[in-house]
Amino acid sequence: MYEPEAQGLTYDDLKRIIKDEAPDVIGLTCSTPNFHRALELAKIGKENSCAKVVLGGVHASALPEFIVETYPDLVDCVVVGEGEITMLELVNAWQNKADIEKIQGIVFKKNGYVVRTEKRPFITELDSIPFPARDLIPQNLFKPNLHNARYRNCSSILTSRGCPFNCSFCASRIVSGKRYRMHSAEYVLEEMEILKKDYGVRQLLITDDTFTINHERLEKICKGMIEKRLNLKWFCFSQVTAVNKGVLTLMKKAGCYNIGFGVESSSPEILKQMGKPIKPEKALEAVKLANKAGLKTQAFYIFGMPGETKEQMEDTIRFAEKVGSTLAFFNMLVPFPGTRDFDYYFSSVPLNTIAWENFVAIGESCVLKNSSVPSKVIEELIAKANIRYYGNPLRLLSLLYHIRTFHEFLNYLKSSIGLFGQVLQWLEKK
């Protein structure tokens, strides 16, 4: 198993590894912005071995037919959705020279035609899945985003899959579905103990779409962390309707120091269009409660929804100042493949002409085509939003108040320099 970016492996390194190991199957995963790199790795695999190349992940799951039709010389098969069982069945079938058409959840090309097999059901018993094989790659190579890095020894953990909400911009349901499925509290606590004991982890990034949906399980996990004296600091994402004062207080006691909310917009109309089942006043209340509980808060906002006006975006900026989260992220809409927003903006755009590497939420360029507010205006608004928000001395004092380690301070310094540089680039485009 290799993680080229974390391990600092060059294309030449990977060529050497593939030649030396002579694999029968090469499995690659990718998100939308690194799809082009996945294709390059597939090319290296094909040129330096006789391996079958399998591609999975959210981008591949959104566009499987396009990928096998367009890149038949690079990709032998696309795994759609969850890949644990599918990948195992694929490898076994190829080893036994068996037909793969009976395997659920794959797309491949046969005799010049694209074949899509029956959809694979989602895994219902998540506890049946082994813990990630973290021993295969040195864990100290993985670094969290600068704004989330409190300690050097940090690890991510996923405790649930699926999201019951239906946001028009979110692609996570393509792989994990809409049904909310959870690891048990016991499973989660055991994995946390392993991370602390075997890997010296001091901080966790809980990457669930919404960690706080099931309060009964959340309470068991938090109380377990307290009883076991894990003394781990952790971050999670939540939905503004999925927390209350009691929950936030317990989370704080269990080591949560940082929580992120998708506020998105101050406009009820835009929120409804997004499929976001929240109201602006509820977002305001949730962030205020988290602030009072002593948590560092993050609020995320999106600009560029279909039909959204400049005035609505400006109102969202003013609303963000009222919300008063410790950090605010003003993001340009990135309509990922498989989402309703992608269909709105890119349904008439040939897929092979799209620069997927630009599909980054906190990126340099707005990828929206024919939006009601020009892309350059959206970039300028985001630049001004950051200046207004972080130019407030009280905001900076609040941020400094939440810093607990020198490592955290250095990372905030680096991220502020990066943000300042990006703001200047946006403004210079004017």
pLDDT per residue over 352-366, tens digit each? 999 999 998 776 778
Q: What is the average pLDDT across 4-12?
A: 88
Q: What is the average pLDDT across 293-317?
A: 96
- Is a pLDDT exceeding 80 seen at residue 186? yes
Q: What are the b/e assignments for 47-83, b being 16+ CB within 10 Å?
A: ebbebbbbbbbbbbbbbbebbbeebeebbbbbbbbbb
As a whole number of angstroms, the distance between CA 299 and CA 283 comes to 9
Residue 145 confidence (pLDDT) = 83
Residue 154 confidence (pLDDT) = 93
Expressed in angstroms, the distance from the first to the final Cα of the chain is 45
Residue type, 168: S
pLDDT digits (tens, 9 = 90+) for 61-89: 999 999 999 999 999 999 999 999 999 99
As a whole number of angstroms, the distance between CA 98 and CA 100 comes to 6
Q: What is the average pLDDT across 204-218?
A: 96
Coil, strand or helix at 403: coil
Contacts of residue 123, defined as CB under 8 A and 6 or more positions apart, other chains included, come to 82, 84, 85, 129, 161, 181
Query: Which of 136-150, 273-287, 314-328 bottoms out in mean pLDDT, i.e. has the lowest?
Result: 136-150
- Is a pLDDT exceeding 90 seen at residue 418? no
Mean pLDDT over the full length of the chain: 93
| Domains of the chain, CATH where assigned | 4-116 (3.40.50), 128-428 (3.80.30.20)
The answer to whether residues 134 and 194 touch, using CB atoms and an 8 Å cutoff, is no
- Is a pLDDT exceeding 60 seen at residue 430? no
Please choose, from the candidates 56, 19, 26, the residue with its C-alpha nearest in 3D space to the C-alpha of residue 41.
26
CA atoms within 13 A on the CB side of 409: 7
Contacts of residue 135, defined as CB under 8 A and 6 or more positions apart, other chains included, come to none
Tokens for 152, please give them.
């050097």
As a whole number of angstroms, the distance between CA 327 and CA 124 comes to 36
Phi, psi of 29 (to 5 degrees): -120, 150
The answer to whether residues 247 and 215 touch, using CB atoms and an 8 Å cutoff, is yes
- Is a pLDDT exceeding 80 seen at residue 194? yes
Residue 284 confidence (pLDDT) = 97
What percentage of the chain reaches a pLDDT higher than 90? 77
- Is a pLDDT exceeding 60 seen at residue 118? yes
Question: How many other β-carbons are positioned within 10 Å of the β-carbon of residue 314?
Answer: 15
Phi, psi of 116 (to 5 degrees): -120, 120
pTM: 0.92
Question: How many other β-carbons are positioned within 10 Å of the β-carbon of residue 89?
Answer: 19
Tokens for 64, please give them.
């499987």
pLDDT digits (tens, 9 = 90+) for 100-110: 999 999 999 99
Residues recorded for the chain: 430
As a whole number of angstroms, the distance between CA 366 and CA 304 comes to 9
- Is a pLDDT exceeding 60 seen at residue 169? yes
3-state DSSP helix/strand/coil percent for the chain, to nearest 5?
45, 15, 40
pLDDT digits (tens, 9 = 90+) for 138-149: 888 888 887 888
Please choose, from the candidates 83, 45, 40, 76, the residue with its C-alpha nearest in 3D space to the C-alpha of residue 61.
83
Q: What is the average pLDDT across 39-47?
A: 96
Please choose, from the candidates 237, 251, 248, 180, the residue with its C-alpha nearest in 3D space to the C-alpha of residue 205.
237
